[in-house]
Chains A and B, each alone.
Chain A
Amino acid sequence: MQATNHTAAHGGGHEAHHHEPGFMQKYIFTTDHKMIGIQYGLTALIFLLFGFCLMLCMRWQIAHPGHPIPLVGSLLEKVLGDVAKDGKMSPDLYNSFGAMHGTIMVFLAIVPLAFGAFGNYVVPLQIGAPDMAFPRVNMASYQFYFLGGIIMFISFFIPGGAAQAGWTSYSPLATSIPTHGQAFWLIGMVFLISSSLLGAVNFIATIIQLRAPGMTWMRLPFFVWAQFVTGFLLLLAFPPLEAASVMQLMDNLFGTSFFLPTGLAVGGRLADISGGGSPLLWQHLFWFLGHPEVYVLILPGMGIVCEIIANNTRKTIWGYKSLVFSVLAIGFLSFIVWAHHMYLTGMGTKISAFFQTTTMIISIPSVILLTCFFISLWGGSIRFNTPMLFALAFLPMFGIGGLTGLPLGFNASDIYLHDSYYVIGHFHYVVAPGTIFGLMAGIYFWFPKMTGRYMNETLGKIHFWFSLLGMNLVFAPMFIQGLKGMSRRMADGGTTYFGADDIAIKLNTSITHAAVLLGLAQLPFIVNLFLSIRNGRKVESDNPWQATTLDWATPTPPPHGNFATEPIVYRGPYEYSSPGAARDFTPQGQKV
Chain B
Amino acid sequence: MIQSADFSVEEEIAKMKAISSRMGGIVTFLGTARDFSKGHDVVKLTFEHYSKMAEQAMLKIRESALEQFSIIDVMMIHRIGEIGIGENIVLIVVGAEHRQDAFTACAWCIDELKKTVPIWKREETPDGQIWVEERP
Q: Are A and B physically bound partners?
A: no
Give residues in B with beta carbon < 8 Å to A. Answer: none
Give residues in A with beta carbon < 8 Å to B. Answer: none
